[in-house]
Amino acid sequence: MTVKKLKIGIIGSGALGLYYGAMLQRSGQDVRFLLRRDLSAIHQNGLQVHSVHGDFHLPQVVGYSTPNEMGPVDLVIIGLKTFANQYLIDLVRPLLGAQTCILTLQNGLGNEELLAGEFGVDRVLGGVAFLCSNRGEPGHVHHLGEGKVRLGEFHGGLSERSRQLETIFNAAGIPCEAVDDLQRARWEKLVWNIPFNGLCALLQQNTTELLSHAESRQLVQEIMQEVIAGANAQPLKEKIDGPAFIERMIYLTDQMNGYQPSMMIDRGEGRPLELNAIYAIPLQRAEAAEINMPKTKMLHTLLDFSEHFQPNTGSLRDLSSLKISACK
């Protein structure tokens, strides 16, 4: 399939958005970034990617501080943290032309529904990113490993559009697979995200430390079993093979030397956590299918409590100003 050149707008230029956007621009795509913290540094010095596959520098990067400045594009890629989803519709709207499609690579569940409810089902695709990356100083992003994207239409089925995006991503050096069951792909990602993001954030221990302790390693696997049970109660085209999938997830995570999941980093830096998309909505959908996930529910409860509790004062803290500042 011929690689089509698109005008691409990146909403949420963090570790994910900067890395994928840089890879796409290096391959010849016309990429524009909505920037906040990195805006000045990137305008002055470009974008530096530090990658396990080889470092590279983009001396000229097009960045904007508002979506109105960016204007309509062919493809919107969303990497925004889901705790900022109250801003998502207003960020996306100025980027839409008559044929613009929207690809959300956000974590968890509910993101496609939010976009489709405002902009229509036919515009919306979703994807899951298996990416180990962190932000560095302004203008720098660090790719530590992985990077595969699985994407598909929100309404299901394989389409020419999803195949075209698969081709574009692969041509950019981003391993990509178009899938016909986006919901299954999203639940498969949750099998990893729910135990590792939550436990690492709560304990402030990385994945290697978590798996090196026999009891916490067993707990990870038990939570994975719950998530798979919740997933397989959904209307998926094909059930997830629990034992084989868990074995693969544990094996892959054992290779991530000292990896800190995004939620662990967010907690350490005082940012809010993506609890609704990664925990609350999956728990609601499992409960609606009459599946009980007690360990997942307890993890969500502890994370939610610690999100609001100020340990040094013994009192609840107000997160409203923190959430607003994180989304400017």
**Residue for token digits 């889901």?**
82
Where do the DSSP E strands lie in 284-325? 309-310, 315-316
Inter-CA distances, 310 with 204, 297, 318, 321, Å: 16, 22, 9, 15
Residue 100 has pLDDT above 70, yes or no: yes
Per-residue pLDDT at 322? 39
Helix count and strand count (H, E) for the chain: 15, 12
| Predicted confidence band of residue 3 (pLDDT cuts 50, 70, 90) | confident
pLDDT band at residue 256 under the 50/70/90 scheme:
confident
Active site residues: 189
pLDDT, mean of residues 76-98: 97
Mean pLDDT of the chain: 93
CATH code that applies to domain 7-180: 3.40.50.720
What is residue 1's predicted lDDT score, i.e. its pLDDT? 66
pLDDT at 182: 98
Q: Would you state the pLDDT for residue 321?
A: 41
Q: Give the mean pLDDT of 6-18.
A: 97
Kindly indicate the confidence band of residue 311, based on its pLDDT and cuts at 50, 70 and 90. low
Q: For residues 247 and 221, is the Cβ–Cβ distance under 8 A? A: no
Percent helix, strand and coil across the chain, each to the nearest 5: 50, 20, 30
Mean pLDDT for the stretch of residues 214-242: 98
The pLDDT confidence band at residue 132, using thresholds 50, 70 and 90, is confident
User: Where are the chain's structural domains?
Assistant: 7-180, 184-326
Q: Buried b / exposed e across 141-150, counting CB within 10 Å, b at 16+? A: bbbbbbbebb
Region 284-309: mean pLDDT is 95
Helix (H, G, I), strand (E, B) or coil at 62: strand
Distances (CA, A) of 199 to 2, 184, 195, 202, 324: 43, 23, 6, 5, 25
Task: Give residue 174's identity as a one-letter amino acid code.
Answer: I
Task: Please check the confidence at residue 301 and state whether its pLDDT lies above 50.
Answer: yes
Q: Which fold has domain 184-326?
A: N-(1-d-carboxylethyl)-l-norvaline Dehydrogenase; domain 2 (1.10.1040)
Tokens of 243: 């034992």
Residues recorded for the chain: 328
Is residue 103 predicted with pLDDT exceeding 70? Answer: yes
Q: How much is the pLDDT for 324?
A: 29
C-beta neighbour count of 315 within 10 angstroms: 9
User: What are the DSSP calls for 12-49, one per residue?
Assistant: STTHHHHHHHHHHHHTT-EEEEE-STTHHHHHHH-EEE
151-206 pLDDT tens trace: 999 999 999 999 999 999 999 999 999 999 999 999 999 999 999 999 999 999 99
Q: Rounded to whole angstroms, how far apart are CA atoms 33 and 67? A: 9
% residues pLDDT > 90 (the chain)? 86
- Taking a C-beta distance cutoff of 8 angstroms, is the pair 11, 76 a contact? yes
| Alpha-carbon gap, residue 326 to 322, rounded angstroms | 6
What local confidence, expressed as pLDDT, does residue 310 receive? 54
Q: How many CA atoms lie within 13 A of 153 on its CB side?
A: 15
How much is the pLDDT for 177?
Answer: 98
Q: Residue 305 has what pLDDT?
A: 95
